[in-house]
Amino acid sequence: MSHRLLEGKKGIVLGVANKRSIAWAIAKAAHEAGAALAFTFQGEKLKEKVEDLLKGLPAPCPLYPCDVTSDEDLALVAESLRKDLGTIDFLVHSVAFADRADLEGSFLNTSRKGYHLAQDVSSYSLTALARMAAPLMPSGGSIITLTYLGSERAVKNYNVMGVAKAALESSVRYLAVDLGPRQIRVNALSAGPINTLAARGISGFTEILDVVAQRSPLQRNVEVEEVAHAAIFLLSPLSSGITGEVLYVDAGYHIVGI
Ligand code: 1JT
C-alpha cells in the first residue's frame, strides 16, 4: 500500500501510547514504507508499553524519554538523534493532553491552569520540537501533527482541546513560513473520531462516532490505517509542494452543511 515511499528516510515519532495510538499506526506504515524510526515515550508507565510494541518491528529502534513540556528533555532528544541517526527527514507529532475535567461540561469553566496545560502539551510542543528538529534536517524535511475538527467548530465536550488545536493549526502555518526556506514542510492531519486511548471514557464519544457514520459523505467512520496512509503521503516526496496545510481524513464529514 505504501510503495516504499519513505525508502532511505529517517524520522522520529512522538505520541505512541499503545497499539491503538494514531502514532503507532503511522509508525507501522512508515516502517513498511521503508523508513528508519526513532521513538519517544512519556513517563515510566508508558516505557514498557512502547518497548513491547517496538519488539514487533523487525529493526531495533532508538527509544528516548520525552516529556514535551521539558526543554531539557527536548535538548536530550536532539542530542540522541544526532548520535543515533545523524540527520532526520521527518517528525511525527501526535501528542496532546488536557485534564479530563476540562473535556466535559462547559468550556466557560476552564481554569487558567487547565488551559495552560492543554496549550503547553498539545500546541506549544510542536513549535519547540520544530526548533529542535530543524537543525537535524539539513536537506529539508517534513513535520506533521494531528488535529481535530473541534479546532474550528464548537464540538460538545472538546472544549479546551479545541482551543489548543486551533493554536496548533495556526502554529502549523507560521512554522511552514519560517521553515519553508529550508525546504522543511509543516502540515496537519485532521482525523475523524477514532477509538484510541485518548478517546476512551470521553462522555458522548460513541454518539460522535454514530453522527459521523450517519452524516459523512462516505457514511462511515475512518480507520486509523487511513490516517496513517495520508501521513505517509505528507511525509513523502509525493507531497513536496504542500506546506502549511490541514488535510482532513474524516470521511468528508467537515464539508457537509445540511
Ligand atoms: C486529547 C484527548 C486529545 C482526546 C482527544 C484528543 N483529540 C481527539 N480526541 C478524541 C476526542 C475527544 C473529545 C471529543 C472528540 C474527540 C483526551 C486526552 C487529552 C488529549 O469531544 C467531542 C472530548
Q: 38-61 pLDDT, tens per residue?
A: 999 999 999 999 999 999 999 899
66 belongs to a structural domain = yes
Q: Is the pLDDT of residue 25 over 90?
A: yes
Around ligand 1, the residues with Cβ closer than 6 Å are: 96-98, 103, 148, 150, 155-158, 161, 193, 198-199, 202, 208
CA angle 167, 179, 163 (to 5 degrees): 5
The DSSP symbol for 240 reads T
Give me 186's grid cell: 509543516
**Which of the 8 DSSP states describes residue 111?**
-
Residue 183 lies in a domain: yes
Go through the chain and tell me how many residues it has. Answer: 258
E strand segments, 97-208: 141-147, 184-191
Q: Which residues are catalytic?
A: 148, 158
CATH number for the domain harbouring residue 235 = 3.40.50.720
Tell me the pLDDT tens digit for each residue of 222-256.
Answer: 999 999 999 999 999 999 999 999 999 999 999 99
Does the pLDDT at position 198 exceed 90? Answer: no
- Give the model's pLDDT for residue 2: 56
Is 100 among the domain residues?
yes
Number of domains in the chain: 1
**CA nearest ligand 1 atom 6, residue:** 198
Q: What is the largest CA-CA distance in the chain?
A: 54
Q: Which of 20, 120, 148, 151 to mutate to test ligand 1, by most ligand atoms within 8 A of the CB atom?
A: 148
How does 218-232 read in b/e, with b if 16+ C-beta sit within 10 Å?
A: eeebbebebbbbbbb
Whole-number pLDDT of residue 1: 59
Asked if the structure places residue 3 within a domain, the reply is no
Residue 2 lies in a domain: no
**Does 70 map to a domain?**
yes
Residue spans of beta strands (DSSP E) within 20-140: 36-41, 63-65, 90-93
CA of 158 to the centre of ligand 1 (A): 6
Q: How far is the CA of 112 from the centre of ligand 1 (A)?
A: 19
**How many Cα neighbours within 13 Å face the side chain of 83?**
9
Q: Which residues pair with 189 in a beta bridge?
A: 146, 247
Question: Which range of residues forms the domain containing residue 144?
Answer: 10-255
Residue with cell 475535567: 101
Is residue 4 assigned to a domain?
no
Q: How many helices (H) and strands (E) does the chain have?
A: 8, 7
Are 196 and 22 in contact, with CB atoms under 8 Å apart?
yes
Residue 5 maps to a domain: no
Q: Which ligand 1 atom is nearest residue 193's CA?
A: 16
Atom number, ligand 1, closest to the C-alpha of residue 208: 22
